[in-house]
Amino acid sequence: MRFGILSTADIALDSFVPGVARTEHEVAAIASRDAERAAAAATAHDIPDAYGSYDALLEADIDAVYNPLPNALHAEWTTRAADAGLHVLCEKPLTRDANEARDVVDYCADRGVTLMEAFMYRYHPRTERVHGLLDAMGDVVSASASFGFPLRGDPADVRLQPGLAGGSLMDVGCYPVNALRTFLGEPDAVTATTYDSRDCGVDTRLAGTFEYEGGASATLRCWFDAPEHQRYRIETTDGWIEATPAFNVPADASAELRYGRDGRTVTETFEPVDQYAREAEHFADCVESGMTPRTDGADALANMRAIDALAEAAATGERVTL
């Protein structure tokens, strides 16, 4: 598969491009609104073609687009890629809200292109192992998930811009939301509180809860103004499971999974794996075979519904049902 990348975003150059380089696929082109920036990125990362506009990239000799643009631009350029007959691997979250996500999912389906949301941690063997453990550990009683880091530097950072759908919930909070949904299912109701520590118009901290009809509950936290930490923990009637760091595991680092069962604690260690490479391979396999991606449009839409509910709960101070 020949990928084209929309923008020179850090996640593209630092993670996705090296990941694809470990596969049989290729990043064939990259675009920026600044032609010199695109050319510099192409030279630095051995990408054959560079373009000074996103429109030009969509006309290039590529099979699919990787879309790491700011959140507010995901929908526009995903649908424009679909118009060009290109499959789309879009960074998370898929869109600004659930209504927009539904439109994008339907649009890509109507044009017969594969759409996948780029939750790379879902393709790590450790995440796959958690599912197997949960099947043997009884009912889930409670869970918690968190992801935060200190966002320093330019106050014009896109993650602090309300017009670009910034905020800690949309940036790193979408990971805990996705993890809780993946392991526990869709919540029946949510509550949340937020804080804007920089008076920038977006949340820089969020704390939320998920409620489930069967009595299980979960908590999630995300932030931009405290030391980095990423973790999830699941408590069941027969044990517990915990992963730290939970989501962004470097390609050259091993990953641990700790769990307790039958009165003993076990630590499993997973050899280094590039989860971005596995993500790209899964996407390409789905395109070739017509298989539905693990993190497909329906999953992305469900994630946006939960994110919308958390945002509404924080804004109104009310419990929001889904």
pLDDT tens digits, one per residue of 175-220 = 999 999 999 999 999 999 999 999 999 999 999 999 999 999 999 9
The domain defined by 2-120 carries CATH number 3.10.20.30: no
CA dist., res. 86 & res. 89, Å (int):
10
Instruction: Give 231's contacts (C-beta < 8 A, 6+ positions apart).
Output: 144, 145, 146, 147, 242, 243, 244, 245, 246
For the record, the structure tokens of 293 come out as 């991606």
CATH 3.40.50.720 domain range(s) in the chain: 2-120
DSSP 8-class letter at 196:
-
The domain defined by 122-321 carries CATH number 3.30.360.10: yes
pLDDT tens digits, one per residue of 237-267 = 999 999 999 999 999 999 999 999 988 999 9
Q: Which regions in the chain score pLDDT beneath 50?
A: none
For the record, the structure tokens of 96 come out as 């600004």
What's this model's pTM, rounded to 2 decimal places? 0.97
Q: Do residues 279 and 24 touch, judged by C-beta distance below 8 A?
A: no
Per-residue confidence (pLDDT) for residue 80, from 0 to 100: 98
Catalytic residue chosen out of the listed positions 25, 74, 87, 92: 92
Residue 92 appears among annotated catalytic residues? yes
Identify residue 18 by its one-letter amino acid code: P
What are the residues facing 219 on neighbouring strands?
144, 209
Residue with tokens 């590529």: 62
CATH 3.30.360.10 domain range(s) in the chain: 122-321
Q: Do residues 80 and 94 touch, judged by C-beta distance below 8 A?
A: no
Beta strands per DSSP E along 40-161? 49-51, 64-67, 87-90, 115-117, 140-148
